Structure 1
Amino acid sequence: MIEVIKDKKEWNELLAKVKEMDFYHTYDYHHLSKTKKESPILLKYTTGNTILVLPLLLRAIENSIYKDATSVYGYSGLLVLKLDPQFNKADFHKELNAYFNENKIISVFSRLHPYIHHQEDLHSGLGTIIELGKVVYIDLTDPQDVQRAKYNRRLKTYVNKARKLCSVFEGNKEEHLNIFIRLYEENMRRVNADDHYFFDTDYYHQLLSSKEFETKLMLCQHKKTKEIIAGALFMKMGNIVQYHLSGLSNEYFQLNPIKLLIDEMRVNATNEGYKYFNLGGGLGSEEDSLFKFKRGFSKEHKTFKIWKYIVDEKAYKALTKNHFKSDLDNEDFNVGYFPAYRAPLKAQKI
């Protein structure tokens, strides 16, 4: 049986029974991440003693009777509350598919969570799973000297220098949030980031105010000038710490303060008993300069995968043809973007 959960209390009560999850699955994160055209839902599948949940963002498709579903930005995918030894995956897929068809949901997309082991198996067989790239993590179960030994030589030099010239402290939203936002946006402009990397002020306030997960605002202050020169938001939930957002002053770029902030969080998170410190990957999952920056902290990595499912191929093709205003009968609709009918006319990779 498939149930649709929208109530915050019910959503939270279900997630409280999940052993492996992250802040990306929470009610609060879905509601602060959604656009005006998206509706967060939690699909609950129950059969016998098995209970599975799948968080999604539901969207109407303009000028049609159809909808589609996507995931929040980050790592989402299926969660297990209970899994009966008699669980039949084919039955689960059949019911999920029936729900999508009954509600005219013609395609579904979800970023899977690299640290939740069962997801690929539960999703596979319905649609396709694609490997996009690597995400770097620090194994916090290693002794701290072993963690530090895995830094590359140049990174150790940068962190040592930054620690001599700067101090790190935990900020709060009343005194320091506006400073962080300024530094973050300054950094995003410096790297010519797309518009979707910029957020309204309420987004940051909700992150720091949520009771469903813990958000740490760490700031770096130059000892001599007393100026706050960098900041980062780290998200904590379960056994995982996520490196979420960061920014720094262009004037102090050469001091590498972000590296110092990550190093400080590594120490703190290890002392607090977390298992993984996820630094993420490169832009668009490429092994670019951002990926190399993170790779300097650790050679440990997980594979980042996505799940794509075309529920109604006929409607999907019709919408895609109409979107590109062309005859695509001889094409496979692989335009480097999913769903294809939402692709920018100059299609880019996911």
Structure 2
Amino acid sequence: MNQIVEISVSDKKRWNNTVKSINNYDAFYLNEYVDAFMREDESNGVPVLLYYENGADRAINVVFKRDVVKDHHFDDKLTPDTYFDLITPYGYGDFIGEITDYATLNDVYSKYCMDNGYVCEFVHFELFNDYYQRYSGETETRTHNVVRNLESPMDEIWMTSIEFIMARWNAVMQRISFTLKKTFFEKLMSMNNAVMFHVRFEEKIISTELVIYRAENCYSHLGGADFEYFYTRANDVLKFEIIKWAKEKGLKNFALGGGYGADNRIFQYKMNRALHGIKDFYIGRKIFDKVAYQQLLRIRSKGNTEMEDRLINTGFFPAYRWKGDWKNSIYATPFMDATTSCRRHRIFKVSKRSEISKTFNMPVISGESRVVA
């Protein structure tokens, strides 16, 4: 009998045991990972693990369940626990496992969502999974990720990109700041699949990167550097040490993240480390309950047909969660969720005085930086 079972984030043991029963599961599905994001920002919603079984077919999916009534546009207009929309966690997601009958999986999932008041979903598809090709909703790729294959010799991996790095270094790294709480890192680092790398220079941490990994792949997840020490090229040292560590662990791929296109400087910086490793990143959306979706859109637009059309034309999904103003609607990106953009990597600044390894009691692999003339 085919069915989907929903596992609560509060049931950590059952959650992780279910995830680890799937071959080649990824760290983004683990309880500690999604719990950290839930506690960081309640607007992310409540994470749930979906376990699917149909004969020999077994699969999991992790989503954040968001109650629409908590959006301020629907204050006093809806009953709590009536309408929800779903979004995959920051990182990657979708159904992974041993699947032979995708049509049945999609049908069962759609019915399950209808029965549980899940109006629609927004998906960031797994990089190393082809479920997006079998997804029953709409999909597209507007951004790319850079993936460094780790099966080549170490000297070949590094020398294929070093000339490009030296030529373009001064035109590359434009930084943005993003603040995350200490408890977020503590929760994330409680996973066995997370490692923090540091570069020290003159007894200071000047560059750091958090890497999440599993059986075959590792991901550059969060990172940053002290602006004052960019001249040391500490980020190059950091990437070199991470690649070396990943090869020693027998990992096959290092996903550096993405950007908005070939002209984006951050994307160029990453691409220099994997000249032939550009991989399309797919996103998707699906409306399970078209009647409910239309009703929510009508409430959001206050019954004004013209406003409803404008909401749809922003390109945000779901349209009823559009949070921008009409003057800036030109910046809306099709398929971009109203609260979570397609951008894969956030950057946080490391304070000059921070001693991250001591503060968070996390595993450290340190590289010593040399000043480059």
Establish whether residue 202 from structure 1 lines up as the match of residue 183 from structure 2: yes
Structure-2 residue corresponding to 1:339: 318
1:208-229 per-residue CA deviation (whole Å, 9 max, x = no partner) reads 2223x2x22211122xx33321
**Rounded Cα–Cα distance in structure 1 between residues aligned with 2:206 and 2:176:** 20
AA at the equivalent of 2:111: A
**Aligned-residue offset at 1:15:** 1.7
| CA distance 1:271–1:158, change in 2 (3 Å) | farther
Kept after mapping to 2: 8 A contact 1:158/1:255 = no
1:167-246 maps to which residues of 2 (within 5 A)?
191-193=175-177, 197-211=178-192, 213=193, 215-222=194-201, 225-246=202-223
Distance 1:226 1:90, change over 3 A: closer
Identical amino acids, percent of aligned pairs: 23
Question: What is the deviation of 1:274?
Answer: 0.6
Matched, 1:294 2:310: no
Q: Equivalents in 2 of 1:285, 1:49: separation in Å?
A: 41
Indicate the residue corresponding to 1:304 in structure 2: 281
Residues 198 and 209 in structure 2, CA contact (< 8 A), matched pair in contact too: yes
Q: Could you say which residue in structure 1 is the equivalent of 2:119? A: 106
Q: Which residue of 1 aligns with 2:347?
A: none
> What is the Cα-based RMSD across aligned positions, in Å?
2.4
**2 CA distance for matches of 1:248 and 1:9?**
36
Alignment check: 8 A CA contact 1:24 1:74 kept: yes
**Matching residue within 96, 112, 115 for 1:79:** 96
Give SS of 1:333's match: helix
Contact 1:232 1:246 in 2 (8 A): yes
Q: Point out where structure 1 has 5 or more consecutive residues left out of the alignment.
A: 160-187
Rounded to whole Å, the distance in 1 between the matches of 2:185 and 2:195 is 11
8 Å Cα contact 2:311-2:319 kept in structure 1: no
Partner residue of 1:171?
A: none
Which AA in structure 2 matches 1:2? I
Pick the aligned partner of 1:33 from 27, 31, 37: 37
Q: Which residue of 1 aligns with 2:357?
A: none
One-letter amino acid of the structure 2 residue matched with residue 23 of structure 1: A
CA distance in 2, matches of 1:286, 1:31: 34
Deviation digits for residues 120-147 of structure 1, max 9, x if unmatched?
Answer: 2342xx2111112210011101111221
* Contact residue 158 and residue 256 of structure 1 kept, 8 A: no
Match of 1:163? none
Q: Pairwise mapping of residues 7-156 of structure 1 onto structure 2 (< 5 A)?
A: 7-34=11-38, 35-37=41-43, 38-62=45-69, 63=74, 64=78, 65-80=82-97, 82-84=98-100, 87=101, 89-117=102-130, 119-123=131-135, 126-155=136-165
Are the aligned partners of 1:220 and 1:228 in contact in 2 as well (CA < 8 Å)? yes
Query: What's the CA shift for 1:237?
Result: 1.3
Specify whether residues 226 and 330 from structure 1 end up closer, same or farther in structure 2 by C-alpha distance, changes over 3 A only.
closer
Q: 1:154: how far off? A: 4.2
Question: Partners of 2:295 and 2:278 in 1: how far apart?
Answer: 40
Taking the aligned partners of 2:266 and 2:246, their CA distance within structure 1 comes to: 22
Q: CA offsets, 1:17-73, max 9 Å, x none?
A: 222332111111111112325111111221111112111111100133311111111
The runs of 4+ residues in structure 1 deviating greater than 4 Å are 156-159, 284-287, 328-332
Q: Which residue of 2 aligns with 1:256?
A: 233
Equivalent pair of 2:213/2:219 in contact (CA under 8 Å): yes
CA deviation after TM superposition for structure 1 residue 318, in Å: 3.1
The answer to whether the Cα contact below 8 Å between 1:54 and 1:77 also exists between their aligned partners in 2 is yes
Q: Against the structure 1 CA distance between its residues 53 and 130, is the aligned structure 2 distance closer, same or farther, given a 3 Å change threshold?
A: same
For structure 1, which segment, 127-136 or 334-343, has the greater mean C-alpha deviation from structure 2 after superposition? 334-343
Does 2:19 match 1:4? no
SS of residue paired to 2:312: coil
Gaps of 5+ in 2: 337-373
Aligned length: 306
